Amino acid sequence: MENGAVYNETTEPQAKPPRRPLGCTLRHLRGWRLPTKASQAILSLLAVIFEEIVEDCIKCGGLYFFEFISCSAFLLSLLILCVYCTDVYETFGEDKVQRV
């Protein structure tokens, strides 16, 4: 009996895990967490849009601060959604995601 026959009979090809479209999963944002994060992203985007509508202001310091905060909230909420709803969570590991 030659070695090739032994390996052919006992070795099975490894099955690839099923691919999700774009790596999307809702496993880590279940229940009320997903609608909360999605509404946070939508509302912060609306705040940025509404702030840009303002044409004239007397003291614009507060308006610029509001723009900075709402834009930062929008970007961070998108980052959180991308991390928790894609394969990035499994790639980095739970301990690194929680630390960040």
Report the 10 Å Cβ neighbour count for 92.
13
Residue 9: its pLDDT value, please? 63
36-56 pLDDT tens trace: 888 999 999 999 999 889 888
- Residue 20, pLDDT > 80, answer no
How distant, in Å, are the alpha carbons of 2, 14, 39, 72 from that of 5?
Answer: 6, 18, 59, 62
What's the one-letter identity of residue 89? Y
Q: Which two tokens stand for residue 97?
A: 């995601």
Percent of the chain exceeding pLDDT 90 equals 24
